[in-house]
Amino acid sequence: MDTIGSLIPTGMGALRFAVDDIAVPFLALFAFLWLVSGAHAWATTPARERGRLFAYYVPSAIGGVGVAVAADAISFYLCFALMALPAWGLITHTRSAESRRAGAVYLTLTVIGEALLLAALVLMATGGDSLLLSEMRAGAAASPHAALIVALLLGSISLKIGALPFSGILPLSYTYTPAGAASALAGASVKVGALAMIRLLPADAVGADWVSAVMLLGLITAFGAAVMGVLTTTPRAVLGYSSASQMGLVLIAGGVSLGDAGATALAHGAIVAFALHHGLAKSALVLGADVAAHAKGRERTVALCALALPALALVGAPFTSGFVAKYALKDAIHLLHGPVPEAVYALLPLTAIGTAALMLRLFVLIRRETVGDPLPARPPVAPWALVLAATAIATWVWPAEWNRHAIESVVSPDSLWTATWPALVAIAGWQAMRLIPAVVRRLDGVVVPGDVLVGLTALLGRFDDHPRSTQVAATPTSARVERLRTVLTATEGRLLAWTTASTILVLLAVVLVTLALS
């Protein structure tokens, strides 16, 4: 690992940022997507709103790029939090009641995830005299708190990647965020959970039952999120559930990495492959859906045709990035033995049927979609074209071991058929559903973006239910005073949100660490 620098001295060392074989692909992915998505956001955001949007976007981007090269616990945690917490302002940018509710759900779950991560890092640090992530991860396997550390890490990662039952956090985040920022969240932010699997999950620290449980959770997420996505209401929500489904496959690789060291190396390769593949493909879909929504006639048709590339990539079709990523995942799973790994390996191709159904649903909803508020300019095509090009070639040309098997097998008839038949099954099933239109109408849109999370917020009645005064002032108020009152009220709301989040974060972390060490 080549050290870039040590900054801000601390009691046990310094903030360290370094580059290694893991950091390079994540750094390239995060930097590219935050820049390209930022260009789209700048072009499509009204001038009067750019300052407000980028006040949150820039800190998130800095944290999102910094976390890729963070080499010690403090720098990793600070960059992780810097990326995650300001994203609340991106989600609530439109200031609608729905976006505020989505932001509240996001911030609540993010704070819980941050607290779990902080508690895990504290426990890992207490077992040695180094804060370097590589040494902390190695030492965690021998820690008396190894099982608790793994549980805390998995809890934090699951919240970040949208594993069940928290899959609703991703469609909520994507649906109400402006397209450029949503592209960054979908392509880069979620992948920090994949990076955390590599940097933090210790190998051979827990038993085979843990490996099996995590793999099963990933498989259930892959199937369950796909079902919810097919039944949801908007293109962005479909993409959110699609992300949760795909990250379920990454979680399977994370489960494999908990096994012996031989399996861990291949699992880490699969995680990197999926991060590159899914990050680029999902960003291309978000940007492309925005371009298509604001295009007309032949331009709209061309945009929809171009969207087929990242859609086919997510399905894992031949010659796409998904073909490479799924080969890397199968290679990792194939090393494990036992009923659960063998069942997961056998069922893995079926997850592509769900992904193909999601993509079909996406295209149906995009064709139905009507454009809302006009943009200051038509969405630019150039940033989307760059992401499309990267989606097509990145995983094939990246110098690594994890893509070698896919490259060698790309023209094999068996491989081509294995990568093709799930899409054909999904298309056949989609056509069959047209024979029962009454059932289709009943099921169409029954899952709102956020599913159970939205239901819980409605049940608790905690969001957007504050009583408002009905009294009218006895004297007229000047426009200037009224504007000042509005600004102060909005500022108070933001301060309350951040103060509450910070307080919950600290209290949760303290409680978790105290319980662990008692």
| Residue range 231-265, pLDDT digits in tens | 888 899 999 999 999 999 999 999 999 987 788 99
For 435-455, the pLDDT digits (tens) are 888 877 787 777 777 666 665
pLDDT of residue 152: 95
Strands 2-10 and 13-19: antiparallel
pLDDT of residue 296: 85
Per the rule left: phi > 0, alpha: psi between -120 and 50, beta: everything else, 394 is alpha
- Band the pLDDT of 314: cuts 50, 70, 90: very high
> Rounded to an integer, what distance in angstroms lies between the CA atom of residue 356 and that of residue 383?
25
Which structural domain range is residue 136 located in?
2-462
pLDDT at 404 over 50: yes
First to last CA, the chain: 36
Indicate the Cα dihedral angle 200, 206, 208, 214, nearest 10°.
Answer: -40
Residue 368 dihedral angles phi and psi, to the nearest 5°: -80, -25
Q: Tokens at residue 495, please?
A: 């301060």
The amino acid occupying position 384 is: W
- Indicate the pTM of the whole model: 0.85
Q: DSSP letter at 379?
A: P
Indicate the Cα dihedral angle 179, 320, 259, 18, nearest 10°.
Answer: -60
| Interior angle at CA 414, CA 413 and CA 419, nearest 5 | 100
When pLDDT is averaged across residues 20-33 and rounded to a whole number, the result is 95
pLDDT at 227 over 70: yes
> Rounded to an integer, what distance in angstroms lies between the CA atom of residue 170 and that of residue 286?
13
For 152-168, the pLDDT digits (tens) are 999 999 999 999 888 88
- Band the pLDDT of 376: cuts 50, 70, 90: low
Which H or E element spans position 330?
A: helix 321-334
When pLDDT is averaged across residues 405-432 and rounded to a whole number, the result is 91
Indicate the Cα dihedral angle 294, 297, 303, 308, nearest 10°.
Answer: 120
When pLDDT is averaged across residues 407-431 and rounded to a whole number, the result is 91
Among residues of the chain, what percentage have pLDDT more than 90?
60
Are the beta carbons of 403 and 395 closer than 8 angstroms?
yes
14 pairs with which residues across the strands?
A: 9
Are the beta carbons of 274 and 253 closer than 8 angstroms?
yes
* Number of independent structural domains in the chain: 1
When pLDDT is averaged across residues 314-331 and rounded to a whole number, the result is 94
Which H or E element spans position 301?
A: helix 297-315
For 173-187, the pLDDT digits (tens) are 999 999 999 999 999
Q: DSSP letter at 470?
A: -
pLDDT of residue 186: 94
When pLDDT is averaged across residues 457-480 and rounded to a whole number, the result is 45
Mean per-residue pLDDT over the chain, rounded: 84
> Rounded to an integer, what distance in angstroms lies between the CA atom of residue 264 and that of residue 255?
9
**Position 205 in a domain:** yes
The 3-class secondary structure across 436-488, one letter per residue, is CHHHHHHHCCCCCCCHHHHHHHHHHCCCCCCCCCCCCCCCCCCHHHHHHHHHH
Helix, coil or strand: residue 9: strand
Please return the burial class of 292, using the count of CB atoms within 10 Å of its CB with bins 0-12, 13-18 and 19+: buried
pLDDT at 501 over 90: no
pLDDT of residue 500: 52
**Position 150 in a domain:** yes
**Position 55 in a domain:** yes
**Position 480 in a domain:** no
Q: For residue 486, what are the contacts with CB-CB under 8 A and spacing of at least 6?
A: none
- In angstroms, the Cα distances linking 180 to 43, 92, 97, 185, 218 are 9, 14, 21, 9, 28
Of 211, 180, 434, 377, the closest CA to residue 287 belongs to 180
Which H or E element spans position 15?
A: strand 13-19
pLDDT of residue 3: 47
pLDDT of residue 9: 45
pLDDT of residue 484: 54
pLDDT at 490 over 90: no
When pLDDT is averaged across residues 86-105 and rounded to a whole number, the result is 90
Helix, coil or strand: residue 5: strand
Among residues of the chain, what percentage have pLDDT more than 70?
82
Are the beta carbons of 280 and 246 closer than 8 angstroms?
no
**Position 483 in a domain:** no
- In angstroms, the Cα distances linking 3 to 17, 72, 76, 168 are 6, 11, 14, 38
- Band the pLDDT of 433: cuts 50, 70, 90: confident
Of 185, 301, 205, the closest CA to residue 247 belongs to 185
**Position 475 in a domain:** no
For 198-222, the pLDDT digits (tens) are 999 998 888 889 999 999 999 999 9
pLDDT at 109 over 80: yes
Q: DSSP letter at 435?
A: T
pLDDT at 114 over 60: yes
**Position 384 in a domain:** yes
> Rounded to an integer, what distance in angstroms lies between the CA atom of residue 318 and that of residue 326?
11
Q: For the chain, what percentages of helix, strand and coil (3-state, to nearest 5) are there?
A: 75, 5, 20
The amino acid occupying position 273 is: A
Higher pLDDT, 36 or 8: 36
Q: Tokens at residue 74, please?
A: 């403090």
pLDDT at 372 over 70: no
pLDDT of residue 82: 93
pLDDT of residue 469: 38
> Rounded to an integer, what distance in angstroms lies between the CA atom of residue 141 and that of residue 260?
11
183 pairs with which residues across the strands?
A: none
Q: For residue 417, what are the contacts with CB-CB under 8 A and spacing of at least 6?
A: none
For 452-468, the pLDDT digits (tens) are 666 555 544 544 444 43
Q: DSSP letter at 471?
A: -
Which H or E element spans position 484?
A: helix 479-517
> Rounded to an integer, what distance in angstroms lies between the CA atom of residue 49 and that of residue 394?
34
> Rounded to an integer, what distance in angstroms lies between the CA atom of residue 391 and that of residue 258?
29
pLDDT at 295 over 70: yes
